[in-house]
Structure 1
């Protein structure tokens, strides 16, 4: 009889721990980002190099302090892809990262497919928004836009513990 009680206890504790772990990964650390109406969506122009705001509407975003790559946003813009490709720096290695299922405006698979078949184009939002992390913006041909953070080439090398490559800024000094 005591073996059954111990077995039931282990199963119940495992279910509670599994549920807590799922909740912490998918819901707990994310928070809605309040739009400020000006700098929520910025892209880097070909001339000048400093990110500047673009026209946007219907902005919604989430972020988490637990990781620099958890930022996701969705918006719409009246600006055309043709104008944007002539004005802003494109981003060649764009790989949209999955968002939590409950943030349903952002579907990384759909965005990735649109980038592959060129119905969407990726642009540099802000390079090194945090060391080694770029803010990437993708614009669909229907005016929908998506934003995420992505590890850049410098970050990939430095985060693996290798020396900073030529052409990359020095990483910030951290206390460990």
Structure 2
């Protein structure tokens, strides 16, 4: 059962996967390199991605994310360290931005962006389905 939960349900995403950022005027695609990503059809919360932005300045008009909480991913997906990302968001070393609202029902895609262009993405519940 452990193997199924940690390995079996994940798919590696292609390098051509597009991350976007939400701005006041819409959702804009980001120019990325060195993309690594995983996802699973078993849960919308299993999405994780790591990449480099070609131009970190392209996020200057992106909307901030409310209550960013990076979710821990499988240990074998080593580019994504949820604890370190969360600490950097709290300290201000990274900035949390809204990638896409309602990427799945009740789920937003969030970005953590560093000044050097590193970007990390995950899905988190947005509270719209709470009673």
> Could you tell me the TM-score, scaled by structure 2's length?
0.93
What residue in structure 2 maps to residue 66 of structure 1?
42
Does 2:11 match 1:31? yes
What residue in structure 2 maps to residue 153 of structure 1?
127
What residue in structure 2 maps to residue 42 of structure 1?
20
Coordinate RMSD, CA, aligned: 1.4
What residue in structure 1 maps to residue 86 of structure 2?
112
Count of aligned pairs: 131
- 1:36-75: CA deviation from partner (whole Å, max 9, x where unpaired): 26xx1100012x1x21111211011000111110000000
What residue in structure 1 maps to residue 28 of structure 2?
52
* Structure richer in strand, relative to its length: 2
Distance of 1:124 and 1:25 partners within structure 2 = 28
User: Would you say the 8 A contact 2:15–2:34 is kept in 1?
Assistant: no
Gaps of 5+ in 1: 1-20, 163-176
Gaps of 5+ in 2: none
What residue in structure 1 maps to residue 115 of structure 2?
141
Q: Which has the higher contact order (CA 8 A, sep 6+)?
A: 2
Distance of 1:142 and 1:118 partners within structure 2 = 14
* Structure richer in helix, relative to its length: 1
Counterpart pick for 2:54 among 78, 85, 94? 78
User: Would you say the 8 A contact 2:112–2:119 is kept in 1?
Assistant: yes
Alpha-carbon offset, residue 80 of structure 1 = 3.1
Alpha-carbon offset, residue 90 of structure 1 = 0.6
- 1:122-143: CA deviation from partner (whole Å, max 9, x where unpaired): 1111100111000111101221
Alpha-carbon offset, residue 24 of structure 1 = 0.7
- 1:82-106: CA deviation from partner (whole Å, max 9, x where unpaired): x62x411010210000010000000
